[in-house]
Amino acid sequence: MPGGVSSPVRAFGAVGGSPRFIRRGEGAFVEDVDGRRYVDLVMSWGALPLGHAHPEVVEAVRRQAELGTSYGAPSEPELQLAETICRLVPSIERVRLVNSGTEAVMSALRLARSATGRRRLLKFAGAYHGHYDPMLAAGGSGLATLGLDSTVEETAVVPFNDLAAARSALAGGDVAAVIVEPVAANMGVVPPAPGFLRGLRAACDETGTLLVFDEVITGFRLDLGGAQAVFGVRPDLTVLGKIIGGGLPVGAYGGRADLMAMIAPEGPVYQAGTLSGNPIACAAGLATLAVLEREQPYAGLEAAAERLQEACAGAPVTINRAGSLLTLFCTADGVTDYDSARRSDLEAFARLHGAMLAAGVYLPPSQFEGWFLSTAHDDEALGLIEIALAQNLERIIAAR
């Protein structure tokens, strides 16, 4: 495999050392093939709000697997998942299931271009919307870590949280869609400035531009209705992933009924997939959403994130947090966009990553990622993280 991995950031290139090959996960912990156990703050990059191997998710997967793994035909789990998504996210009147967040972004933007008759797109520097070519312009996440930015002619890029720059880019009336993570989580966690999302909504309305929320990470993590429910802004289209598959590969895009009616077979915008709506992935997602709806764990998840934020108090670092999403930046200057995120000391973060790993805490191997908590992160797990931070944070930051 190129780099020995199936996705670039997993190679530990930005933090040094060897990637850990994971054998099993249980609750808040993972265990590698050498038998070492870690508190996990990657959580399959946010796909596991209930922790690893939650019994209800495992049972749902087992039951569905006994009925078959894939049909290439409609099935009840995909219909039930679609109905659940539409019920929980009011802006999603109709939805199409796909296989990944990247595929969902690609399909949603193809729809936006067809619906508006325009080609240009607007995104924000440091935002990562999958490895779809037009979205690789000034991308964050692994692109920021690995220095793989691309320049794409039909994609305009402006700073996140800069409403004036966004309005200027839209002024020509030739942009099909603005795509934005309502809470940026691929340049590290960067919350929206007050009024930023509402301003984008207004600017899109004024210019006939579609507003697309990429809630692959924030969807069902910040609230059952997503970040759009938290901030009270209704997009035209929404992209989902991660949690709606309960840890299995899945994605979705949906929104206004009139727009979604343009998707084949009802309309001319073609999109298809042999494994779209895979019954096992849908069963896992349904079980995950059922637990989230029943237990409403969001206050507890946020309290856990606040606890970790407080554990870093006094250190010359910046902790950005939105709900249970947080990132520790190795800078004391504050982080509000991609440029300020890149001022973080990457060498200090690499040292911190290695020290935390040695202490039994598995952080995302990139400065430009969120830390993900789950309902399985109990007092024991949080306590282990706090101890590791207390032992290492001040010493490593002071060594800069």
Instruction: Examine residue 383 and state whether it is found in any structural domain, yes or no.
Output: no
Does residue 144 sit within a domain? yes
Q: Domain with 156 in it: what CATH number? A: 3.40.640.10
Is residue 395 over pLDDT 90? no
Does the pLDDT at position 143 exceed 80? no
Average pLDDT over residues 268-275: 94
pTM to 2 decimals? 0.93
Q: What is the pLDDT of residues 342-367, one digit of tens each?
A: 999 999 999 999 999 999 999 999 99
Give the rounded percent of residues in the chain with a pLDDT score beyond 90: 91
Q: What is the mean pLDDT of the chain?
A: 94
Q: Within a domain: residue 231?
A: yes
Of 40, 242, 253, 362, which residue is the catalytic one? 242
Look at residue 350 and tell me if it is in a domain: no
Among 28-37, 91-100, 142-151, 264-273, which is the least confidently predicted range? 142-151
The answer to whether residue 205 is catalytic is no
Catalytic residue among 214, 223, 236, 337: 214
Please give the pLDDT value at position 140.
52
Flag whether 89 is in a domain.
yes
Q: What is the spatial distance between Cα 16 and Cα 124, in angstroms, rounded to a whole number?
A: 29
| pLDDT over threshold 50, residue 252 | yes
Asked if the structure places residue 99 within a domain, the reply is yes
Specify if 111 maps to a domain: yes
Residue 146 pLDDT > 80? no
Confidence of residue 152 (pLDDT cuts 50, 70, 90): low
Residues 161-194: tens digit of each pLDDT? 999 999 999 999 999 999 999 999 999 999 999 9
What is the per-residue pLDDT across 275-317, written as a single tens digit (0 to 9) for each? 999 999 999 999 999 999 999 999 999 999 999 999 999 899 9
pLDDT tens-place string over residues 65-103: 999 999 999 999 999 999 999 999 999 999 999 999 999
Residues 106-139 have pLDDT tens digits of 999 999 999 999 999 999 999 999 877 776 755 5
Residue 33 lies in a domain: no
Domain count for the chain, please give it. 1
Give the pLDDT score at 149. Answer: 46
Res 130: pLDDT: 86
Catalytic pick from 38, 123, 128, 338?
128
Domain hosting residue 59, numbered range: 55-293
